[in-house]
Amino acid sequence: MTAADTRAMCWLLRQPQAARRARMARLVSRLGDGPFYVALTLLIWWMDRDGGSEFALTAMAAYALEVPLFVGLKHLIKRPRPADALESLSAFIQPADRFSFPSGHTAAAFVMATLLCIYFPPLAALALGLAVMVGLSRVLLGVHYPSDILAGATLGTSCAMLALWVV
């Protein structure tokens, strides 16, 4: 898996369009930051007084599971970021922490996408598309391997489903 991840990273980041893609990826990646999900949850709560409260409660439960799990896994596995492991690669941004597995941005994006799919099915394609784009942006920025994204998506979806079951 690491060899395939390394080949994919080297190929992507050595493409002539890599810097241009990174500029766009930076914008998409910002959507994976926490404040966007808080604002979106508050907007849903405000606009949908019936289902919005349940959505907000489920989102809080899902993130209460996801955040400590992704932080714990990063510190347990301690996989170095691509640019730290490969001298020939440079990241386009400075990540917030040292470790790459799993992707926290992707996990958070898939928590929200999964909940939006369940509570608001007409938004499913948009929500999942955005979650995939957040994950891909992290690879294009050089801070995650593709398998980090897959693990983050799995973690986020699992935490959302568990929160739905608990709440």
First to last CA, the chain: 36
pLDDT at 86: 67
pLDDT tens, position by position, 106-128: 999 999 999 999 999 999 999 99
Stated pTM of the model? 0.86
- Determine the Cα–Cα distance for residues 132 and 150; give it in Å rounded to an integer: 10
Higher pLDDT residue, 32 or 127? 127
Of the CA atoms within 13 Å of residue 35, those in its CB half-sphere come to 2
Measured CA to CA, the distance from residue 125 to residue 114 in angstroms comes to 11
pLDDT of residue 12: 67
Are the CB atoms for 110 and 157 separated by under 8 Å?
yes
Domain ranges within the chain, ordered by starting residue? 32-166
SS3 category, 35: helix
Q: Where residue 90 falls among pLDDT bands split at 50, 70, 90?
A: low
60 residue type, one letter: M
> What percent of the chain has pLDDT above 70?
87
Burial of 4 (0-12, 13-18, 19+ CB in 10 A): exposed
Confidence category of residue 92, pLDDT binned at 50, 70, 90:
low
